[in-house]
Structure 1
């Protein structure tokens, strides 16, 4: 079985992420979307809110599983028999960062490979941090994210 993982904080998931998910899901028998808490950033949505939004947004893609995990990605991959990491690239800056990450992961486990998907031009300026900033200043984020993100934000901001 061809199995891959698309890891990220997805805080929140954007339409750019969704494009990568749908394209990668077409290449693998199973695509695991792995949500983790980025220890270097303050969370916008709790992990459970991100998982809920992703599950709703991917409900029509049968071979996508949304999970959360802690610890090192190569350890999770070994435990779950996953050999391929999917990453999206918006720019040269993304490539430089992701190349370093892929090399470190490969040093930790040489059996793992990373494949890169180039973002479609219409998503090249969309990032989770940009969505958070627009939302913070009461701007409209609906064109940038799946509807499930709006629902999650409304639910978790009312708690």
Structure 2
């Protein structure tokens, strides 16, 4: 039975931290589905289609190199429902620090109560990407700062174009 991992997030934009966790997820699963969460109450910087394209462009090569099936999907409900829809038994969550750990432990507990067949797996971020958050990347880019150390070059170009208007 193939091991299917579901890696949810907003990915607005895709960062080197996201790609680090995706690469680690590719080492523990046969298929990785990256789920872009959509919420009617949030106004993301990039559209769902743009984020999906960014993930395809940056994530698919990582999965190919690892010999893992890869898919990008969207969801707007519970993570556990989306994971189930894709046949996932592994829920991937990245950890940067203790704050992430505390929050993710609560989420893992709730998700475990909602779907006992889904196992949350915490993957620690590499030290070089631990300080990166999409929120900080957006803020730096909005103030015309250099985000090239935090995102792939194609994402940095998209951010520069978005904020040059």
Same fold (TM over 0.5): yes
Partner SS for 1:59: helix
- Partner residue in 1 for 2:107: 101
Match for residue 134 of structure 2 among 114, 118, 128: 128
Contact 1:52/1:152, CA 8 A, preserved across alignment: no
Size of the aligned set, in residue pairs, is 159
Q: Is the 8 A contact 1:53 1:152 kept in 2?
A: no
> What is the TM-score with the length of structure 2 in the denominator?
0.88
2:29 is equivalent to residue 33 of structure 1: no
Cα RMSD for the two superposed structures:
1.9
Aligned twin of 2:46: 45
> Judging changes above 3 Å, is the alpha-carbon distance between structure 1 residues 158 and 132 closer, same or farther for their aligned structure 2 residues?
closer
1:118 aligns with 2:124: yes
Q: 2:145 aligns with which of 132, 136, 139?
A: 139
**Cα deviation, residue 112, structure 1:** 1.0
Matches within 5 A, 1:51-62: 51-60=52-61, 61-62=63-64
Q: 3-state SS of the aligned residue for 1:81?
A: coil
Distance 1:41 1:138 in 2: 23
- The gaps in structure 2 that reach 5 residues or longer are none
Q: TM-score, normalised by structure 1?
A: 0.91
- Structure 1: 5+ residue runs without aligned partners? none
CA shift in 2, pair 1:40/1:90, >3 Å = farther
- The answer for the alignment partner of 1:72 in structure 2 is 78
| Per-residue CA distance 1:73-100 (angstroms, 9 max, x = gap) | 1112222211110011001000011111
For residue 49 of structure 1, report the CA deviation from its aligned partner: 0.9
Shift of 1:150: 2.9
Give 1:23 deviation, angstroms. 1.4
